């Protein structure tokens, strides 16, 4: 990913975030998931989509990062490169965490009515497209646009309808 390492915190440009949010919005629309967070390795929120109580958001992203670190350590011991973590949360709710490049993690919540395979398939596609967006924009952008863990709340406007074809 093209996130710049600035004091060990991922830095993104607003337009990166905008495009990433569009991808995440499409992911929700296609997969039927409830919420999706893109969190960096340090636990900072990069982007999110879906209805979510924002009060405990910082704690959630920190825990996601903690779980990410534990999952990564587990995967490393098993000699795995790619990995995902599935957590049945009870009350008809599930969470899935997937590695998104080297620096980030995608955290998805969804109900029992939604297919795990469907979530994984669309999540992997979203991760691939997010990676492409970040890769394409690497080295570009106005430093004034830089944001740290930007919370993007705009509705999907369909500007990148070609994102998922």
Partner 1 sequence: MNERTGDVYRLVFELTARATDVPYDKFLDELVEGLAAHYGAHVCRVHVGDDQRYAASADAAGRVAALDSTDRARFDTLDVMLAEEVKNDGVLRTALDLDGGAELVNFLARSLQTPETFAFPLVARGDAFGAITLYLPDAYPFEEADVRGLQAIGNVLFAAANRDGVAKAGAAVPVTSDKLRAYQETLEEVAKILDELLFLTDAKTVLLLDSQGDFISKRGAESRYSSTDFATVVASGFAASRRLAGLYGTQEVHSVTHEGDTESVFVIEVAERALLAIIYSDHNAPALVSRWTQSAASRLRGHYEALTEARVL
Question: What does the binding site for partner 1 look like in residue numbers (CB under 8 A)?
Answer: 56, 59-60, 63-64, 66-67, 70-71, 73-75, 77-91, 93, 95, 109
- Distance (Å) of CA 155 to CA 49, 51, 138, 158, 164: 9, 11, 25, 9, 17
CB of 53 to partner 1, least distance (A): 9
The residue among 7 and 78 lying less far from partner 1, judged by its C-beta, is 78
The residue among 121 and 138 lying less far from partner 1, judged by its C-beta, is 121
CB of 109 to partner 1, least distance (A): 6
CB of 154 to partner 1, least distance (A): 24
The residue among 10 and 71 lying less far from partner 1, judged by its C-beta, is 71
Provide DSSP, 2-63. Answer: --EEETTEEEEEHHHHHHHHHHHHHHHHHH--SEEEEEETTS-EEEEEE---STTHHHHHHH
Q: How far apart are CA 35 and CA 70, in angstroms?
A: 22
The structure tokens listed for 92 are 């008809």
Q: 2, exposed or middle or buried, with CB in 10 Å at 0-12, 13-18, 19+?
A: buried
The residue among 17 and 24 lying less far from partner 1, judged by its C-beta, is 24
CB of 159 to partner 1, least distance (A): 31
């Amino acid at each position: 990913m093209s996130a710049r390492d600035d004091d060990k915190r991922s830095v993104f440009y607003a337009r990166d975030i905008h495009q990433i949010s569009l991808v995440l919005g499409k992911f929700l629309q296609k997969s039927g998931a409830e919420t999706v967070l893109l969190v960096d390795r340090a636990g900072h929120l990069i982007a999110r989509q879906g209805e979510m109580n924002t009060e405990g958001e910082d704690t959630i992203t920190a825990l996601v990062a903690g779980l990410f670190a534990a999952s990564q350590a587990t995967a490393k011991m098993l000699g795995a490169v790619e990995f995902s973590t599935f957590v049945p949360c009870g009350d008809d709710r599930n969470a899935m965490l997937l590695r998104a490049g080297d620096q980030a993690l995608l955290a998805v919540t969804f109900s029992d009515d939604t297919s795990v395979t469907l979530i994984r398939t669309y999540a992997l596609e979203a991760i691939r497209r997010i990676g492409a967006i970040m890769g394409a924009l690497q080295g570009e952008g106005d430093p004034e646009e830089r944001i740290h863990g930007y919370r993007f709340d705009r509705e999907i406007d369909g500007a990148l309808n070609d994102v998922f074809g």
